[in-house]
Amino acid sequence: MHPDKPLKQSHLKVATDINAVAEIFAWFDRLASRQFPHQFCVNCKVALDEAFANVVDHAHQNLPPTTPIELELKIFADRLEMRIWDHGEPFDLQAKLDALHQKGCNLLEETGRGLILMEQFTDELFYQRLSDQRNCLFMGKRLVPGSH
């Protein structure tokens, strides 16, 4: 997270429904597709898709489908910041990633694949419990100079 002001910023709220990913991708494309190169956007959408699926499948698995999932995109000249807020039980993202790396998790395995993809396709990744009892997953991706 950086102190400068975003060029664009948008919030989206969806229900706990895996089919909402189409709405999320359309929202992402409206905001980011003209700002960043195609492959940059593909990588960010993979990370966003995996993060959203994890909220639906894990964080909200015992919550009603009407439980909202909130998303935010902040677009800067040199990077993109993505946040997802959920209402599930908190977990230790770094400990889970460390365990997956120690185990030698590969992308062919179902368990942990999403976390590994999020880590590989972003430059910053962290998860925290907030005072309002929600969790926030932050994913940041920097644009490499000359990659347009």
* 3, part of any domain: no
Which of 80, 58, 75, 77 has the alpha carbon at shortest distance from 67?
58
Specify whether the backbone of 143 is left (phi greater than 0), alpha (psi in -120 to 50) or beta. beta
Give pLDDT tens digits for 109-138: 555 678 888 999 999 999 999 999 999 999
> Could you give the number of structural domains in the chain?
1
Give residues with Cβ within 8 angstroms of 73, minimum separation 6: 8, 9, 10, 27, 28, 31, 32, 80, 81, 82
The range of the structural domain enclosing residue 103 comes to 8-142
CATH number of the domain to which 49 belongs:
3.30.565.10
* 137, part of any domain: yes
Which of 93, 79, 90, 74 has the alpha carbon at shortest distance from 28?
74
**The pTM is what?**
0.88
